[in-house]
Chains A and B, each alone.
Chain A
């Protein structure tokens, strides 16, 4: 039911507030805690008339120009309406009345009171009273049977009673409610309502549901419920036509059911989530007024008009045909059991293929921020209810058909809608269309203006732009080169993609592409020199930044979000329907560009339970990350088989429950989570301009309050956040080697600290475990530490480990040597040609290859070669990147860093074994002069192993003292070709730092 939720307005001071319409539907009448009754000429009335009736108004009712109020002086008064003249006191109680209600004709008034009594008074003659006694606690609410025979009341004693008015006797009593001692303590006001006109049903709010009792038989015939309704129902009212039932509840829920089908046709939420305590339908049935416990008045407008066939049509139109079908069948063929299996099948089908169109419909109605979760859970429930309703309602007239067992298993979740990471929801008039590391795109869409503002963080990139948004763009992305905008298609116009390529060197800075009819842009992103667009036809289209159409491929599911970094493209899509609030998302990571390949092949994306994806992006260094709606940030761990590691929970740093952090970027080096703190909302407003805050990362390791846990967390975080070095070097990007060595040193230091701690705690086994993580030279330090703290057993084990590590290293070195030509052979041809040359410069250039002039020459050659070889997209002839952030985006032009070389740059003092080898080489070669170099080492290793642990320790100690002289010994040691390279690096190595 499409309806318009008008903004709330202040009505009364805080506290219980009630509302009703006058009979013409022109005026809204509210009564509140300030003792005034206000008469509003429509919701927009800025100066409502008011009648002061007492200190407080507990309840009010209006009929035939008489306004009846229950006020604080224990009376029920009458005022004329609309003049507001006092017209006498109707009745009195020993304490205040809690609820008043007119009967259908307006001749009688019922009033319930906190003194446990219900009185029925003739309006014309207040001396004619009937008192209904029997409640054992304050009366919560009263309602007349439209045929005037009965009266129903609810009380704090937990019972709902139907009275026979004439006999003043209890007809039936249902213990339905929670017992309390006072109205103010009652969890729900339990406002009963009797169906007008037909008077067939009595609606009783019971916890989160509404029970319908049949008049006469007093059987509980059905229950109206809604899965989204999780809090108590406070008040129910029937539409004047008696076809719809509206309920308002704790937490601000407003729900409307179609009683005949038991379908929930409308669901709204109070804009602030305050408890709804007053509810009234306008006589025309098109408006629903509500008041909350904070004294505010709200209105839902445009609800279907009462009972007319056009309204019914409207509701039907809301749902797809296939939804109506089971309903119709349920109604018309409900009695024939033969029809059942077929119906089952159909529902089964519907269940497996949730109608996305419908879900979207529902999502659009609920435009609050949590709408993503809403929807098809209830939809499918609705469907089952339809079948139930079809069966139950006719049952009154016909013999009951066999009931289908209700489905109670997991229910599918509404698939999350596609979004641009770093954008605020599209329904906001002023919104961020994109906030990323390059700049901000803001969208304005109000009466005056429909415009897009583009602003760059770094004004050196481009000046700010202001564009009129005549096409109605809703999606945008921004890179150092271009702005990409897209709008969804309409009936006449196709979905359009517009690109402002401001870095273009020709005069045409803009291009536009129409998508095929019926295909809408769902997500878009800008990579380096290319753009990607995911469409509603499950298609992914790649464009060059200049507008050339490139590759395209089909997506396995509806796209949720898509981001790029350099040549990487990360796509998150719906893998399958999720169940019970979970989303089932899949992720693909592709490399687009020179060597296209798929790195992650559509694996499931882990999310926290019952959350959806809130942000997706790459860290500035190029590691995929995402944030779910619970604020958990996860990062791809490439060294652990592309798994996702949670690195931060932004909700832990929030001060209040409703605060959120809106993530805008992630940096691995320095470790920064850049986000915007949003007080009391999920999204930041565009004005005042939000400021970026920085959060630290924290892996959720156990016991991080202890020293051990803290250091473990630091170590693993450091390891995780330096994974990007190996990724960057393996994919041929420039790496800040200084940073890399620094991070390795940091990790080793942490390991050493943990080692020391474990030593102190006498956990020797743990010490060895930690030593296994250390590099070989740090292990030798650990050996010394162990020896000094007199743990000889530990020292011995560690020195064995050190030896093992030394051997491993020795073995690795030749392997790496061999691998090198292979890896460059597998590369593109120009790389191969450069390889020997670059290796020389690398060695000669004393560890600073970028400064060597020879390099500059090769880089130019390189660029030219790549420019000729592939399309201009792949080359890097464009303007050089300035920002430090962007460096990884630029393919390294000069050299292909090889694992061996980069690893050599890490400092490596000599091991005990090497020192020993130096001393004993001559004797070995004298003993067996015919040995090859490798055999010499093998032999030496064998001999070294036979040494005692103490002797070995001496070597290791010597290694510390001797390291300056070791430099001179290097040429002696590294005679073989294979070690020359090492020797060169050895000379240039950073000085080892001693751990204190």
Chain B
């Protein structure tokens, strides 16, 4: 999966906006949205929120977890624990990216949030690499990782699977039986 595909999925998450227009309920395949009352918060998917924001039709209310204090706490927890701690949203990285890129004026302390989320991300990816490393070096057959988000899985999937394949090939070449087999192939 592409990161852009994951981002696409993330855009289905709901976010609160404060519209500055009024519109009755709109009926979409994915469900009904609205009604939109000016000045009154309403839940919409991120893709719609971004679209409205770009047309200056709304203000986005950042999700509750997108708050410096809460993220700091989370970062500390993430650093302290060896395993992955639960994340506030399954799409925390994607949401932070899209919301901060398009609606940073509606999010207080946007820069700090960006840094904090990046810190959390880096910590988690480091853990992920570390666990992949120990997985390979200890020649384990399977591993269980909790609380991973889709984006994180995707960043490591391609590389990990390819390298495992490669290693499998290399190892099977080393084994005498298979080399014999290879020999016979010739």
Contact = CB atoms under 8 A, between A and B. Distances in A.
Nearest to A461: B38
Contact of B22 (A692, A694, A883): A883
Secondary structure of the B contact surface, majority rule? loop
Contacts of A692: 18, 39-41
Nearest to B35: A884
Contacts of A437: 39
A459 B39 contact: no
A439 B108 CA distance: 22
Interface string A853-884: 00000000000000000000000000000111
Max chain B C-beta neighbours (<10 A), residue from A439, A457, A674: A457
B87 to A, nearest CB: 24
Max chain A C-beta neighbours (<10 A), residue from B16, B22, B24: B22
Given A456-B38, A458-B38, A691 B61 contact: yes
Interface string B1-42: 000000000000000101011101000000000000111110
Given A691-B61, A692-B41, A885-B37, A456 B22 contact: no
Contacts of A405: none
Contact of B18 (A456, A691, A694, A882): A691
Contacts of B41: 691-693
Contacts of A884: 22, 24
B19 to A, nearest CB: 9
Max chain B C-beta neighbours (<10 A), residue from A459, A694, A883: A459
Contacts of B18: 691-692
Contact of A458 (B16, B22, B24, B61): B22
Secondary structure of the A contact surface, majority rule? loop
A199 B24 CA distance: 78
Max chain B C-beta neighbours (<10 A), residue from A674, A689, A691, A693: A691
A688 B38 contact: no
Contacts of A691: 16, 18, 41, 61
Given A456-B38, A458-B38, A691-B41, A882 B22 contact: yes
Interface residues of A, number: 18
A252 to B, nearest CB: 27
A688 B20 contact: no
Contacts of B108: 688
A885 B39 CA distance: 12
A882 B23 CA distance: 10
Contacts of A694: 40
Max chain A C-beta neighbours (<10 A), residue from B38, B56, B59: B38
Contact of B39 (A457, A460, A688, A693): A457
Interface string B40-67: 1100000000000000110101000000
B37 A460 contact: no
B100 to A, nearest CB: 16
A692 B19 CA distance: 12
Contact of B20 (A459, A674, A885): A459
Contacts of B59: 689
Nearest to A439: B39
Contacts of B37: 457, 885
Interface in A447-471: 456-460
B62 to A, nearest CB: 10
Interface in A682-703: 688-689, 691-694
Contact of A460 (B16, B21, B24, B61): B21
Interface string B68-100: 000000000000000000000000000000000
B122 to A, nearest CB: 28
Given A688-B108, A691-B61, A458 B21 contact: yes
Interface in A168-200: none
Contacts of B40: 457, 674, 692, 694
Contacts of B21: 458-460
B38 A457 contact: yes
B172 to A, nearest CB: 60
Interface in A652-693: 674, 688-689, 691-693
A458 B24 CA distance: 14
A457 B61 contact: no
Nearest to A687: B108
A460 B20 CA distance: 8
B108 to A, nearest CB: 5
Contacts of B24: 884
Interface in B101-133: 108
Nearest to A440: B39
A882 B36 CA distance: 13
A694 B41 CA distance: 9
A453 to B, nearest CB: 15
B44 to A, nearest CB: 15
Nearest to A693: B41
A456 B61 contact: no
A211 to B, nearest CB: 48
B9 to A, nearest CB: 27
A561 to B, nearest CB: 22
A692 B24 CA distance: 19
A416 to B, nearest CB: 28
A883 B20 CA distance: 12
Interface string A76-99: 000000000000000000000000
Contacts of B57: 459
A278 B39 CA distance: 48
A801 B59 CA distance: 56
Interface in B136-155: none
Nearest to A674: B40
B156 to A, nearest CB: 37
Nearest to A884: B22
A674 B59 CA distance: 18
Contacts of B38: 456-459, 883
A417 B56 CA distance: 40
Interface string A422-458: 0000000000000001010000000000000000111
Contacts of A885: 22, 37
A456 B19 CA distance: 11
Given A457-B20, A688-B108, 12 more contacts: A439-B39, A458-B39, A459-B20, A459-B38, A459-B57, A691-B18, A691-B41, A691-B61, A692-B18, A883-B38, A884-B22, A885-B22
16 contacts: A439-B39, A456-B20, A456-B38, A457-B20, A457-B38, A457-B39, A458-B20, A458-B39, A459-B56, A460-B21, A674-B40, A688-B108, A691-B61, A694-B40, A883-B22, A885-B37
Q: Please name the 10 residue pairs, one residue from A and one from B, whose CB atoms are nearest each other, closest first.
A: A457-B39, A457-B38, A458-B38, A459-B20, A688-B108, A883-B22, A691-B61, A458-B22, A691-B41, A692-B40
